Structure 1
Amino acid sequence: MSNLMLKLSDPNEVAAVVDEVRREARYVVTDFSVELVVSKFKDEAEAEGDIYVPEYQRSLAWNEEQSSYFLESLILRVPVPPVFLYDVEGRLEIVDGSQRIRTLVRFARDGFALTGLEKLDILNGYCFSDLPPSVQRRLNNTPIRSFVLDQGTDESTRVELFRRLNTSGKRLEDAEIRKGVYRGPFLDLVIECASSELFKSLTPQMAKGVDARSERQELVTRFFIYSDRYTAFRHDVRKFLDANMDDLNKSATDDRLRQMRQEFIASMEFIRKHYSQAFYRPEGGRRVPRVRFEAIAVGTALALRIDPKLKPPTNVWLKTKHFEELVRTDASNSAPKLRGRIEYVRDSLIKDADDS
């Protein structure tokens, strides 16, 4: 046991929690033929498709060789992973399997020719309409094992399921998933602020391989939610941000959104004026560590709430060993450390003002 001081919960309580969470995802298992899937599929932009792709899964990542390999498996009747769908008033939203389904649709509509096949290399260069009728029928009649989540499944459970099951060639960032699922006025505010020239001037570079637009939206989401609700955070960052994104979309009034926008602008302008490089580590680098950003951005906002006319800080706190320890990346899921780093910045700024 890694921690001998850990106090275990009552076994009955543990079993009850496991059963409750397990029941959050209700589903039925069925088989849809390839022909049926193709006939029912519509891009979300088209009206009333019975099977469709949600916005956060719109980009097709498979190349033609990957697509051909999948189709070869179907023609050979080699078992392939099931697809997961979500019942939305009778329509089926694809939770996982969009690459496979879109590959079927493209091929059935002669969207590309098979390529790179090894076992069935004789089919390289064939479009669907080129296949012998018997092979076309066999492919059309191939069953696709499908798990259909009940419409009553909690939205956050559906998003979490997608994250766990996602088999696409490209990992979707949390901000992109939220943008597709949690639509509303608060999300609009996040996108607006993340794309502002003010915020871009403070985050001009992102780490290699990171989508800058998505990462800025992630940072701004954390700024708004932690600024008001960081004391309520317990452990799971994703779940906490998802739940609060959904709540703010539904509950934030126009006046509240206006206040949030003004506070974001005031905080970022203060940071740009007094410590514009603070989001980056002192030793340099192109990455904005999320824990560092949270501490500085939210801590600044809280200090300005206490004293809107905060005097220029000395910035000594930014260079202390203690601050660097508080913004270690391994502290992202710790509630006490989140509170500690945010309040350290807040209190340091207020103390600077008092001392001066």
Structure 2
Amino acid sequence: MSDEDSPELPLHPSDDEMIEVVEEARREARYVVTDYPVELLVRKFREEPEQEGDIYIPEYQRTLRWSDQSQSYFIESVILRIPIPPIFLYDVKGRLEIVDGSQRVRTLVRFANDEFALGALDRLDVLTGLKYSQLPSTIQKRLFNTPIRSFVLDEGTDESTRIELFRRLNTTGKTLHDAEIRKGAFRGPFLDLILECAATPIFKELTPRIAKSADPESERQELVTRFLVYSDHYSQFKHDVRRFLDSHVIKSNRIISETKVQAKRAEFDKTMQFIHANYPSAFYRAGKGGALPRVRFEAVAVGTCLALRKKPNLTFNGNSDWLFGESQFGKLQDLHDPD
């Protein structure tokens, strides 16, 4: 391919365009700042969203992962009134959904309910081995009266903005995969379609190697999400992959019909069968091990899907060298592999 045939790279956005994007993103998150005493957090907390309680944990949050020792250090910090990170809540018709801070709130609730005794402490070793009910009443009151800085997102905050905030704030333990968050937060028929397609034997056979840092099941769900969204809406994408995918998953969950679900499932199966029959290793670059590059998967899978839409009886000439050679496709792939 000559230089004249090379595709033009997109122009860099203007200053005004960049400022508009930044300002729009800033306006999406509206919140108030307040201080809730520990006693209120403990009294109003419920573990599950469906339980009657004013403060609850959404499905996309993971279970408590802090060890008893880590929880003990946290309780010590609260008793000493050492500044701790704020918690972030989302107003849902007067109830408060925990966006970030579930580990801290759960720890306070567990300790107040005598579910663990304090381990070895740095400064308050005199309290080591004691449960909440065994503390002097003065210390109990001081603990319960301690204010916890809280940011409450307005109910009008966009759902994908709320999930994005959780991603950015979630720094303790293992960070959740994008697909794991969608699986917990964006329930509906479109998500069910994603999960079903990702679990098909033929797709697993086409995607044998997944990055060690990623959960294979979740990564395949991420790839299927990209396939289903980009195959219909790739021309609409401008920036922010996560927000783009999240918004379309949310919308599709609300409007997709059972007939459309069946059609999308059939198209996914047809595309994967065509790839399996003609270039089964195309998702991976020749001569290179390691994980499956997402952008390569998108190019091959979505490109094949669009070709089959145009020519349902498409046949392949058997020459797949262009998929693995130093073509323009390969050069562009080198630029995008980090994603």
TM-score by length of 1: 0.85
Secondary structure in structure 2 of the residue aligned to 1:61: coil
* Pair 1:6–1:182, CA change in 2 (3 A): closer
Q: Deviations over 1:81-139 (max 9, x none)?
A: 11110010111001111111111112212222222422222323222223222222211
* Structure 2 residue 324 is the aligned partner of structure 1 residue 319: yes
CA contact (8 A) 1:72 1:117 kept: yes
- Cα deviation for residue 203 of structure 1 reads 1.8
* Pair 1:46–1:125, CA change in 2 (3 A): farther
CA contact (8 A) 2:120 2:129 kept: no
CA distance in 1, matches of 2:78, 2:41: 14
Give the corresponding residue for 1:153: 157
Q: Which residue of the other structure, out of 272, 277, 301, is the alignment partner of 2:276?
A: 272
Give the corresponding residue for 2:234: 230
CA distance in 2, matches of 1:100, 1:17: 34
Q: Which residue of the other structure, out of 188, 195, 202, is the alignment partner of 1:198?
A: 202
Task: Kindly report which structure 2 residues correspond to 1:265-344, keeping only aligned pairs within 5 A, or say none.
Answer: 265-312=269-316, 313-322=318-327, 323-328=329-334, 330=336
Report the AA paired with residue 326 of structure 1: L
Report the AA paired with residue 276 of structure 2: R
Secondary structure in structure 1 of the residue aligned to 2:268: helix
* Structure 2 residue 135 is the aligned partner of structure 1 residue 131: yes
Q: Deviations over 1:133-171 (max 9, x none)?
A: 222221111111111111111112212222222233221
- Cα deviation for residue 284 of structure 1 reads 4.2
Give the corresponding residue for 2:124: 120
CA contact (8 A) 1:31 1:145 kept: yes
* Pair 1:260–1:160, CA change in 2 (3 A): same
CA distance in 2, matches of 1:318, 1:221: 23
Secondary structure in structure 1 of the residue aligned to 2:82: coil
CA distance in 1, matches of 2:208, 2:127: 49
- List runs of 5+ in structure 1 lacking aligned partners: 334-356
Q: Which residue of the other structure, out of 161, 172, 178, is the alignment partner of 1:174?
A: 178
CA contact (8 A) 1:202 1:272 kept: yes
- Cα deviation for residue 19 of structure 1 reads 4.6
CA contact (8 A) 1:96 1:167 kept: no
CA contact (8 A) 1:34 1:104 kept: yes
Give the corresponding residue for 1:37: 41
* Pair 1:169–1:7, CA change in 2 (3 A): closer
Say which is worse superposed, 284-293 or 224-233, in terms of deviation. 284-293
CA distance in 2, matches of 1:14, 1:286: 35
CA contact (8 A) 2:55 2:96 kept: yes
Q: Deviations over 1:152-202 (max 9, x none)?
A: 111122122222222332211111122222221111100111122222222
Give the aligned length.
327
CA contact (8 A) 1:87 1:149 kept: yes
Task: Kindly report which structure 2 residues correspond to 1:16-55, keeping only aligned pairs within 5 A, or say none.
Answer: 18-44=22-48, 46-55=50-59
Task: Kindly report which structure 2 residues correspond to 1:236-251, keeping only aligned pairs within 5 A, or say none.
Answer: 236-251=240-255
Report the AA paired with residue 333 of structure 2: V
CA contact (8 A) 2:49 2:56 kept: no
Say which is worse superposed, 269-278 or 289-298, in terms of deviation. 269-278
Give the corresponding residue for 1:262: 266
CA distance in 1, matches of 2:21, 2:14: 14
CA contact (8 A) 1:289 1:329 kept: no
CA contact (8 A) 2:90 2:153 kept: yes
Give the corresponding residue for 1:64: 68
- Cα deviation for residue 33 of structure 1 reads 1.2
Secondary structure in structure 2 of the residue aligned to 1:292: helix
Give the corresponding residue for 2:167: 163
Q: Which residue of the other structure, out of 157, 179, 187, is the alignment partner of 1:183?
A: 187
- Cα deviation for residue 20 of structure 1 reads 4.3
CA contact (8 A) 2:49 2:58 kept: no
CA distance in 1, matches of 2:231, 2:12: 31
Secondary structure in structure 1 of the residue aligned to 2:165: helix
- Cα deviation for residue 17 of structure 1 reads 5.8
User: Please, what is the CA RMSD of the aligned residues?
Assistant: 2.2
* Pair 1:25–1:69, CA change in 2 (3 A): same
CA contact (8 A) 1:187 1:249 kept: yes
Report the AA paired with residue 331 of structure 2: E
CA distance in 1, matches of 2:74, 2:295: 40
CA contact (8 A) 1:97 1:167 kept: no
Say which is worse superposed, 186-195 or 301-310, in terms of deviation. 301-310
Say which is worse superposed, 216-225 or 275-284, in terms of deviation. 275-284
CA distance in 2, matches of 1:114, 1:276: 56
* Structure 2 residue 253 is the aligned partner of structure 1 residue 220: no
CA contact (8 A) 2:293 2:337 kept: no
